[in-house]
């Protein structure tokens, strides 16, 4: 692991009996990077995070976090990381300040440092006036920021966030990401798992996981550019839900879906197919506003990669029969 690497995985694998939850993942996370793990439920994101936090022993492969081997030095790993789970890891029957005191004790902070860090967390979370409030009574966004503060009390250089915005409102989610950016600007490496595709766009780089395996790695823009080999047409017309069937069945269209008030079609022939599509819809009684080339969304990139992986698995299964 070089000096600019915060987290390194080499063939990291975790099996539970005959089930492989994480399958030979290899990647590196740079210092100060906001790195995202994207994938559906059951893809292996949380299992990987638990191994990297020293909470779960790998079955095979290796990994290091902050320069410490996760298998040989799990306690050293734990001292150099912050961890926030999707359940926020808070005690609802304790007051805000009591939760902070509890975690300050867990991290063995000195009295002087404890006072300074508590003041920082309360200011960051906007809870100075609510330090005596029961944690269970806090709104979701406040509780989320308090949980983040608890994970940061000991100023760890690496922060693991496992589905941290699950169940919070969009405004709180946006505020939370502003805090993540501020941490990254301060040199903290942030490793975040999410299944929100719009959140994945906020990351410096992404690892796309599916069925425990790594299917793609790179910046969101690079992943979309790589996938642009399958041109996308965006069609704006009236009654898009009804028009979708006509687009799906059009010659030259490989797939189509609704995106808000528009239809997005995978069209290998590119923009040349546009006039024919517009004419087809007009003939079917739809008022067409525009048909234009569009950049693939991260959702389309992910679906395309997953479908390709499933095809490969199916072809391999046929060969083995």
Per-domain boundaries in the chain = 5-224, 229-294
Which SS3 state, helix, strand or coil, does residue 160 take?
A: strand
DSSP reduced 3-state for 35: strand
Reply yes or no on whether the pLDDT at 196 is more than 90: no
Query: What is the distance between the alpha carbons of residues 80 and 66, in angstroms, rounded to a whole number?
Result: 7
Q: Output the pLDDT for position 302.
A: 80
Read off the pLDDT of each residue in 158-178 and give the average, rounded to a whole number: 84
Query: For position 257, what pLDDT does the model report?
Result: 85
In which residue are the tokens 């949980």 written?
A: 147
Q: What is the pLDDT of residue 319?
A: 59
255 phi/psi in degrees, rounded to 5: 175, 155
| Residue 9 C-alpha from the chain's centroid | 17
Thinking of the domain 229-294, which architecture would CATH place it in?
Answer: 2-Layer Sandwich (3.30)
Claim: this prediction has a pTM higher than 0.75: yes
Are 181 and 34 contacting, i.e. CB atoms less than 8 angstroms apart?
yes
Range name among 28-37, 86-95, 167-176 with the lowest pLDDT average: 167-176
Out of 3.20.20.100, 3.90.650.10, 3.30.56.10, 3.40.50.300, the CATH code matching 5-224 is 3.40.50.300
pLDDT band for position 168 (50/70/90)?
A: confident
pLDDT in tens, 210-237: 999 999 999 998 888 776 667 889 999 9
In tens, the pLDDT along 95-108 reads 999 999 999 999 99
Q: Which of 46-55, 192-201, 312-321 has the lowest mean pLDDT?
A: 312-321
Q: Please, how many CA atoms are within 13 Å of residue 149, restricted to the half-sphere of its CB?
A: 27
* pLDDT for 75 beyond 80: yes
User: Contact, 79 vs 108, CB < 8 A?
Assistant: no
Query: What is the predicted pLDDT for the residue at 63?
Result: 97
* Number of residues that make up the chain: 321
> Does the pLDDT value for residue 79 go beyond 60?
yes
Which helix (H) or strand (E) element contains residue 275? helix 274-283
The two structure tokens encoding residue 196: 């929100």
3-class DSSP state for residue 223?
A: helix
| In the block, residue with structure tokens 């405004």 | 171
DSSP label of 137: G
């Amino acid at each position: 692991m070089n000096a600019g690497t915060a987290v390194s995985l080499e063939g990291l694998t975790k099996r539970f009996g005959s089930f492989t939850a994480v399958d030979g993942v290899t990647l590196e996370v740079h210092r100060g990077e906001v790195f995202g793990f994207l994938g559906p439920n059951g893809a292996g994101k949380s299992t990987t995070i638990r191994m990297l936090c020293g909470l779960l022993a790998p079955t095979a492969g290796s990994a290091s976090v902050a320069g410490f081997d996760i298998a040989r030095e799990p306690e050293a790993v734990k001292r150099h990381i912050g961890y926030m789970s999707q359940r926020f890891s808070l005690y609802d029957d304790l007051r805000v300040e009591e939760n902070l005191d509890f975690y300050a004790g867990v991290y063995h902070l000195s009295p002087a440092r404890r006072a300074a860090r508590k003041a920082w967390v309360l200011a960051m979370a906007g809870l100075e006036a609510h330090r005596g409030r029961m944690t269970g009574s806090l709104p979701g966004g406040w509780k989320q920021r308090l949980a983040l503060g608890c994970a940061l009390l000991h100023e760890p250089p690496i922060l693991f966030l496992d589905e941290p915005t699950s169940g919070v409102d969009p405004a709180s989610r946006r505020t939370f990401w502003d805090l993540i950016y501020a941490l990254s600007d301060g040199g903290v490496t942030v490793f975040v798992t999410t299944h929100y595709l719009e959140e994945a766009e906020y990351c410096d780089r992404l690892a796309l996981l599916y069925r425990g395996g790594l299917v793609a790695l790179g910046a969101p823009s690079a992943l979309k550019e790589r996938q642009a080999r399958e041109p996308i047409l965006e069609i704006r017309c009236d009654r898009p839900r009804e028009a979708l069937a006509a687009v799906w069945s059009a010659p030259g269209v490989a797939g189509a879906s609704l995106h808000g008030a528009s239809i997005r079609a995978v069209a290998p022939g590119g923009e040349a197919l546009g006039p024919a599509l517009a004419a087809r819809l007009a003939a079917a009684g739809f008022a067409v506003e525009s048909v234009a080339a569009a950049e693939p969304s991260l959702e389309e990139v992910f679906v395309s990669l997953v479908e390709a992986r499933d095809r490969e698995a199916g072809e391999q299964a046929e060969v083995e029969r």
